[in-house]
């Protein structure tokens, strides 16, 4: 049985009214500015497949320094709350550029999860499941990719862009085909360029020969592993033909400068290129939010890098007609404690924290849930990871009550005892 959620937040109601008023005014200016062609392009793209972009802020973003500030309180810290493009919604002054994109976003300020340590908390928010129930569940983008992939796709269904070579994005009990392809520091996958001296004709002959061997092997011993190997070779061959998609040097220097001369900027620019090339599921990771010490300095530095790049990405997705078909999720594994410790840090906190999301399938300019004036207790709209996963899947047109068929049993995509946050869905 699905839970029916309500949201009585005053800010939520004000924000929705303000957004509708602002949208009417902005719409006239958009059309007068020659945006008819862009609007038509956006509608055409929106009619196509849905995609998912997850921006994961590793370490635990402080909700008090981002989406749910509490200025003027002992817990609030030194930063102010600033108005956004949606009247009535305020976020931290550390996000001035993101504030101008709020009419494309929604906030959930009432997330409550049960894990405070990084590894189980990440697993919880990556899979929607507790590690105690098993460690072989597919990660969110892997699960979504398995439902959004199409037979004629020429690029991987799931890509992870991060600074580390450490493999993430596990497909769990799904086929290895849906594991994330790791692009460390936005570098193209290895071995997409043929070895020097090997002609296109020779490569074609090798591919034909390998295909014949594969058919013989599969014909006599068809297993999930053989299918995964065949799919991997096929995808690698297609990727080699599309290798320019992964090459950021193909972007004008002006575009590279807009996104920022740092890893996160390059990662988000590559994510935009991949979305334009119809990759259905992408995760971008931004590190170092674990702020037990010097929380305010850490967030000042990290969010300065995040803010302009993320706002640029959101603006580009909108202008290029991609946002209406792309669900964008900004989340961490947990939040940070309202209490400031004796080293000017905030510790792990999973009782009441926030995420942001927007784009395809999400009601823009909305706020769901409310915390008290110290950010300690949730006053309205409490949700957990299961409710969020139902919402994510619904936003990209996937039935969260569908099941995966494993060798041993059927497993629902999202916990069936929960349901989506209906107020956030269009």
> What average pLDDT does the segment 349-376 reach?
97
Say whether pLDDT at 7 is over 90: no
Task: Supply the pLDDT for residue 201.
Answer: 82
With bands split at pLDDT 50, 70 and 90, how would you rate the model's confidence at 418?
A: very high
Higher pLDDT, 112 or 170: 112
**SS3 (DSSP) at 258:** helix
Identify the band that residue 8 occupies on the pLDDT scale cut at 50, 70 and 90.
Answer: very low
Look up tokens 């990727």; give the residue: 239
- Whether 345 and 294 have beta carbons less than 8 Å apart is answered as yes
Query: What structural domains and CATH numbers belong to the chain?
Result: 10-140+285-424 (3.40.720)
**pLDDT higher at 273 or 152:** 273
CB 270, CB 155: distance < 8 Å? no
Nearest to 144 by CA among 332, 409, 326: 326
Half-sphere exposure of 306 (CA within 13 A, CB side): 25
- The percentage of residues in the chain with a pLDDT greater than 70, rounded to a whole number, is 81
Which of 34-38, 108-112, 149-153, 155-159 is most confident? 108-112
Cβ contacts of 106 within 8 Å, gap of 6 or more: 356, 357, 358, 362, 363, 364, 365, 366, 367, 368, 424
User: Tens of pLDDT along 179-223?
Assistant: 999 999 888 777 667 777 777 788 677 777 777 777 776 666 656
- In this predicted structure, what is the pLDDT of residue 149? 94
Of 7, 8, 127, residue with least CA distance to 383: 7
**Residues present in the chain in total:** 426
Nearest of 324, 398, 426, 424 to residue 128 by alpha carbon: 398
pLDDT of residue 16: 46
Mean pLDDT of the chain: 86
Structure tokens at 96: 């001035």
Q: Which of 30-34, 134-138, 173-177, 290-294 reaches the highest mean pLDDT?
A: 290-294
- Give residue 250's pLDDT band: very low, low, confident or very high (50, 70, 90): very high
Q: What integer pLDDT is reported at residue 46 of this predicted model?
A: 40
363: pLDDT strictly greater than 50: yes
What is the token pair recorded at 418? Answer: 């929960």
Q: Residue 222 to residues 17, 149, 187, 210, 229: CA-CA distances in angstroms? A: 58, 22, 34, 16, 11
What the block records as the tokens of 125 is 């928010």
- DSSP structural state of residue 422: G
Residue 357: predicted pLDDT: 98
Predicted confidence (pLDDT) at residue 167 exceeds the cutoff of 90: no
* Mean pLDDT, range 150-160, rounded to an integer: 91
Question: How many other CB atoms are found less than 10 A from the CB of residue 222?
Answer: 11
105's tokens: 């976003």
DSSP 177: G
What is the pTM assigned to this prediction? 0.84
Mean pLDDT of 292-309: 98
For 57, the token pair is 């802020």
């Amino acid at each position: 049985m699905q839970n029916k959620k309500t949201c009585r937040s005053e800010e939520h109601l004000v924000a929705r009214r303000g957004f509708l008023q602002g949208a009417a005014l902005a719409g006239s200016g958009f059309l007068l500015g020659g945006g008819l062609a862009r609007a038509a392009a956006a509608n055409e793209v929106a009619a196509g497949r849905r995609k998912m972009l997850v921006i994961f802020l590793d370490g635990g973003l402080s909700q008090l320094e981002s989406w749910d500030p509490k200025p003027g309180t002992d817990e609030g810290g030194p930063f102010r709350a600033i108005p956004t493009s949606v009247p009535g919604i305020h976020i931290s002054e550390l996000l001035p550029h993101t504030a101008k994109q709020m009419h494309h976003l929604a906030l959930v300020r009432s997330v409550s999860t049960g894990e405070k340590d990084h590894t189980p908390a990440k697993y919880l928010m990556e899979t929607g499941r507790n590690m105690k129930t098993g460690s072989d569940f597919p990660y969110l983008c892997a699960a979504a990719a398995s439902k959004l992939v199409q037979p004629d796709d020429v690029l991987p269904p799931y890509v992870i862009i991060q600074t580390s070579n450490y493999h993430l994005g596990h497909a769990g009990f799904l086929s290895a085909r849906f594991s994330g392809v790791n692009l460390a520091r936005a570098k193209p996958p290895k071995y997409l360029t043929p070895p020097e001296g090997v002609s296109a004709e020779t490569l074609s002959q090798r591919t034909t020969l390998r295909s014949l061997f594969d058919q013989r092997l599969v014909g006599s011993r068809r297993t999930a592993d053989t299918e995964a190997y065949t799919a991997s070779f096929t995808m690698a061959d297609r990727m080699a033909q599309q290798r320019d998609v992964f090459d950021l040097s193909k972007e004008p220097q002006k575009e590279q400068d807009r996104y920022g001369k740092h890893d996160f900027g390059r990662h988000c620019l590559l994510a935009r290129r991949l979305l334009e090339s119809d990759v259905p599921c992408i995760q971008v990771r931004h590190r170092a939010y674990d702020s037990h010490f010097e929380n305010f300095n850490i967030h000042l530095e990290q969010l300065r890098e995040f803010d302009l790049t993320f706002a640029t990405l959101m603006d580009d997705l909108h202008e290029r007609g991609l946002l209406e078909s792309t669900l964008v999720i900004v989340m961490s594994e947990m939040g940070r404690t309202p209490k400031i410790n004796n080293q000017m840090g905030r510790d792990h906190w999973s009782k009441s924290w926030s995420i942001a999301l927007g784009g395809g399938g999400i009601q823009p300019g909305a706020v769901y849930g409310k915390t008290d004036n110290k950010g300690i207790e949730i006053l309205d709209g409490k949700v957990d990871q299961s409710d969020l996963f139902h919402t994510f899947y619904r936003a990209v047109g996937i039935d969260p009550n569908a099941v995966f068929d494993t060798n041993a049993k059927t497993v629902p995509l999202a916990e069936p005892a929960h349901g989506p946050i209906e107020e956030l869905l269009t």
